[in-house]
Amino acid sequence: MDPNKPNVVLYPRDDRIDYKGPKPSDSFYDSNLRPTVPGQELFDEYKVDHVPILQGSLEDSSYFYIYISGQIEYSSFIDSDCLMIKYKFIAGKEWERIYGEPSGCSQLSYKSRSSSPKIIWNFPFNIAYRSTCPRGWPQITMFLVGPDFLGREVVKGYTTMHVPLQPGRHERSAKTFTPKSSSILVQFLGVLKGKLPELVDPSRTLAEPYGREVIRADSGGAVNIVFNVAEKNLESFGYTIKKNIL
């Protein structure tokens, strides 16, 4: 050890120490001659590039799975020239979402200048669930929003639809409705203030079969949706999807 440089070690030279043993060589540093830790050979054998897998994406045979993708294509509305759509997937308590976003909001689209009354979005969605009971089968709830005559954002319609039971590609059309005011005076004041009748919790109200019988509504347009459905492990739970089911 050099006293002036405590971090520098001075190795003895050959002329100071009469070392008669073998001199270090390349073979001295051979990995085969180094001492090994017990079990090190197992680590070296399985030492490969490992990609971590999320626990939620691991499939378990104690569940059945449903994979849903597709897009909200367009709507047909006579009274509106500009709309955007918001959606949310709702499922029962026995269902667990394993990936995908349950809700989304599309862009604001206008009708084309042609004679077609369609407002096109082509807004995609992708989600997957797993469950042990088909009760509370997933459904998509949607409500359309657009500007009124003063440019204020108001709700133009609500609709809901269950995900098709059969696997494959399905094209569906969902009719929309708009809640009505309790009186003509309330409707007139709502139009002036830009506060038309709305549902407090639209996703829950549309998905659950309770409370909708007291809603006064007017029919509106329709929304066209494309579903791509894939299912797994349904047969192991004793469920069979018939081909002639609508």
State residue 137's pLDDT score. 93
CB 197 within 8 A of CB 84: no
The residues that bridge with 139 in the sheet, in sequence order, are 90, 162
pTM for this entry:
0.68
DSSP-based three-state secondary structure for 54? coil
Closest CA to 176 of 147, 153, 210, 199: 199
Q: What is the pLDDT of residue 14?
A: 47
SS3 235: helix
Q: What percentage of the chain carries pLDDT values higher than 90?
A: 30
Q: Which domains are assigned to the chain?
A: 62-237 (2.60.40.150)
Task: Please write the tens of the pLDDT for every residue from 56-94.
Answer: 455 678 899 999 999 999 998 877 788 999 999 999 999
Is residue 22's pLDDT more than 60? no
Indicate the pLDDT class of residue 115, thresholds 50, 70 and 90: low
Cβ–Cβ < 8 Å for 139, 95: no
In sequence order, what are the residues at sequence separation of 6 or more whose Cβ sits closer than 8 angstroms to the Cβ of residue 238? none
> Residues 208-226: pLDDT tens digits?
777 667 777 777 789 999 9
